[in-house]
């Protein structure tokens, strides 16, 4: 089915069954559709906190996926992880019930806005989308927002506004973002990831090239000119391009930069001082995220004051170096990093925070990623003082390679593998001491360990 076919179904009183409704983007979409009067129901594999929250909103959700679950549905929206052999998808095909991708639904929604800001990249999407949201709110643009995580400012991961601007986190996995209609396409970086879908970096660059090519002639591409893969991906695309970076070649760049617990710098646009920023979050990677947000704001012709106010009041998004509490004098943080590049940025950010020991509680994410990037993972994890490893979070996969967290532990000094969260929790209680930072790291449910540790101290 095409995005244009959704027009017949995205109307009040139509019934939508959502396959994999508990996913980050799917759950937000479910709330948006319900707010627009569509009858929403769905299914998922686990009874997560997200599923419980959706149920509290009056959405009927079944745990487990069977053909019977689609009864009464006028159309289906599925997560990218639900393939054609899924029993609900197979039943819909057999019965002639139209099936749409999650990204197609978001693409349909964004066509109703003058400004559609799609923020893409292998790393930094959630933080940059959150920063742009802060700036748009400071500029009183009343935006509609879709973020892949909770933003404290919104107390949610989404917002339905009445303005003419929508900003969305835009994922390359399964080429999802190619169903979007960006007027501003932001590319933060292009790195090798998702080996279960892409054949390698050249395949990924082709996908980002197509994404940038979706921008209309009067639109704009915002790109990281310090990232070689990004610039290679957009080479030859005839669209207005606004670059950001730390070097002299960038249209929007940082100068007079001081990176510590807080990060202070000036933003220059075309060699003229545009804004002074005092970020409350550490890390060079967050300077790049802020520059991308500022460049996006310049493309929207927002005033410097809104950029300063938005970025200076930004305190981070949930699960992005988020402080969770303390135990035995150690401070507990949580981070979503699940790629070697993200772990490297996290380690750099933590190194300027003044802790004596860094204890990384890492939950590897997907067998294919660990297998493809094994050496990169072991190299960066050696940078932490102590590493505690849980089992690999399978997500959408089964283990066809035999890879395990034990394999990582064998290559990392001062690391240990644990079969359960309970064992990790007991180990942390034994070793935690003043001057430590304990970081639960990964895109799965490892955050539960940090939360349990903090609760046990109360």
Q: What is the pLDDT of residues 178-213, one digit of tens each?
A: 999 999 999 999 999 998 889 999 999 999 999 999
pLDDT band at 119 (very low <50, low <70, confident <90, very high): very high
pLDDT of residue 157: 82
Mean pLDDT (whole number) for 409-433: 96
H, E, C per residue of the chain: CCHHHHHHCCCCCCEEEEECCCCHHHHHHHHHHHHCCCEEEEEECCCCHHHHHHHHCCCEEEECCCHHHHCCCCEEEECCCCCCCCHHHHHHHHHCCCEEEHHHHHHHHHCCCCEEEEEECCCCHHHHHHHHHHHHHHCCCCCEEEEEEEECCCCEEEECCCCCEEEEECCCHHHHHHHCCCCEEEECCCCCCCCCCCCCHHHHHHHHHHHHCCCCCCCEEEEECCCHHHHHHHCCCCCEEEEEECCCCCCEEEEEEEECCCEEEEEEECCEEEEEEEECCCCHHHHHHHHHHHHHHHHCCCCHHHHHHHHHCCCCCCCCCEEEEEECCEEEEEECCCCHHHHHHHHHHHHCCCCCEEEEEECCECHHHHHHCHHHHHHHHCCCCEEEECCCECCCCCCCCCCCHHHHHHHCCCEEECCCHHHHHHHHHHHCCCCEEEEEECCCCCHHHHHHHHHHCC
Residues of the chain with CATH 3.40.1190.10: 112-312
pLDDT of residue 78: 95
Average pLDDT over the chain, rounded to an integer: 94
Q: What is the pLDDT of residues 202-249, one digit of tens each?
A: 999 999 999 999 999 999 999 999 999 999 999 989 999 999 999 889
Instruction: Name the fold adopted by 322-456.
Output: 3.90.190
Mean pLDDT (whole number) for 166-170: 95
pLDDT band at 156 (very low <50, low <70, confident <90, very high): confident
Of the listed ranges 16-25, 224-233, 325-334, 356-365, the least confidently predicted one is 16-25
Residues of the chain with CATH 3.40.50.720: 3-100
pLDDT of residue 151: 87
Residues of the chain with CATH 3.90.190.20: 322-456
Mean pLDDT (whole number) for 412-429: 96
Q: What is the pLDDT of residues 61-73, one digit of tens each?
A: 999 999 999 999 9
Q: What is the pLDDT of residues 293-306, one digit of tens each?
A: 999 999 999 999 99
pLDDT of residue 116: 97
Q: Could you say which of 3.40.1640.10, 3.10.450.50, 3.40.50.720, 3.40.1190.10 is the CATH number of the domain covering 112-312? A: 3.40.1190.10
Percentage of residues of the chain with pLDDT beyond 90 = 82
Instruction: Name the fold adopted by 3-100.
Output: Rossmann fold (3.40.50)
Q: What is the pLDDT of residues 339-362, one digit of tens each?
A: 999 999 999 999 989 899 999 999
pLDDT band at 435 (very low <50, low <70, confident <90, very high): very high
pLDDT at residue 386 tops 90: yes
Mean pLDDT (whole number) for 89-107: 95
Percentage of residues of the chain with pLDDT beyond 70 = 100
pLDDT of residue 396: 79
Q: Answer yes or no: pTM beyond 0.85.
A: yes
pLDDT of residue 458: 67
pLDDT at residue 1 tops 80: no
Mean pLDDT (whole number) for 364-393: 96
Mean pLDDT (whole number) for 5-11: 90
């Amino acid at each position: 089915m095409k995005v244009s076919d959704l027009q017949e179904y995205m109307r009040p009183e139509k019934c939508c069954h959502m396959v994999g409704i508990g996913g980050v983007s799917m759950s937000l979409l479910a709330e948006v559709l319900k707010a627009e009067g569509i009858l929403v129901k769905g299914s998922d594999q686990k009874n997560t906190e997200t599923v419980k929250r959706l149920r509290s909103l009056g959405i009927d959700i079944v745990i487990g996926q069977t053909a019977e679950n689609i009864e009464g549905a006028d159309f289906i929206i599925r997560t990218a992880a639900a393939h054609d052999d899924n029993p609900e998808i197979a039943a819909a095909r057999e019965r002639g019930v139209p099936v749409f991708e999650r990204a197609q639904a978001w693409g349909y929604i964004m066509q109703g806005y003058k400004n559609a800001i799609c923020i893409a990249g292998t790393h930094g999407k959630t933080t940059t989308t959150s920063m742009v949201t802060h700036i748009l709110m400071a500029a009183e643009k009343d935006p509609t927002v879709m973020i892949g995580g909770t933003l404290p400012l919104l107390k949610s991961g989404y917002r339905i506004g009445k303005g003419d601007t929508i900003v969305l986190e835009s994922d390359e996995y399964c080429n999802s973002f190619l169903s979007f209609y960006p007027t501003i396409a932001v590319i933060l970086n292009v790195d090798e990831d998702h080996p279960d879908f892409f054949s390698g970096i050249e395949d990924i660059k082709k996908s980002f090239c197509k994404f940038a090519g979706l921008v209309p002639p009067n639109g704009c591409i915002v790109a990281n000119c310090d990232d070689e893969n990004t610039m290679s991906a957009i080479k030859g695309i005839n669209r207005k391009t606004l670059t950001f970076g730390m070097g002299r070649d960038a249209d929007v760049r940082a100068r007079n930069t001081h990176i510590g617990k807080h990060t202070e710098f000036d933003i220059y646009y075309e060699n003229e001082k545009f804004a002074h920023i005092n970020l409350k979050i550490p890390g060079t990677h967050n300077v790049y995220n802020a520059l991308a947000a500022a460049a996006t704001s310049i493309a929207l012709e927002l005033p410097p004051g809104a950029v300063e106010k938005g970025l200076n009041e930004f305190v981070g998004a949930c699960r992005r170096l988020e402080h969770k509490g303390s135990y035995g004098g150690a401070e507990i943080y949580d981070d979503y990093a699940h790629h070697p590049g993200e772990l490297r940025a996290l380690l750099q950010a933590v190194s300027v925070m003044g802790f004596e020991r860094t204890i990384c509680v890492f939950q590897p994410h997907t067998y294919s990623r660990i297998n493809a990037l094994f050496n990169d993972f072991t190299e960066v994890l050696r940078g932490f003082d102590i590493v505690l490893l849980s089992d690999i979070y399978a997500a959408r996969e089964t283990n066809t390679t035999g890879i395990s967290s034990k394999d990582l532990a064998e290559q990392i000094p001062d690391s240990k593998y644990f079969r359960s969260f309970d064992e990790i929790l007991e180990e942390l209680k034994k070793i935690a001491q003043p001057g430590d930072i304990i970081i639960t790291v990964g895109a799965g449910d490892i955050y539960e360990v940090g939360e349990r540790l903090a609760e046990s101290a109360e």
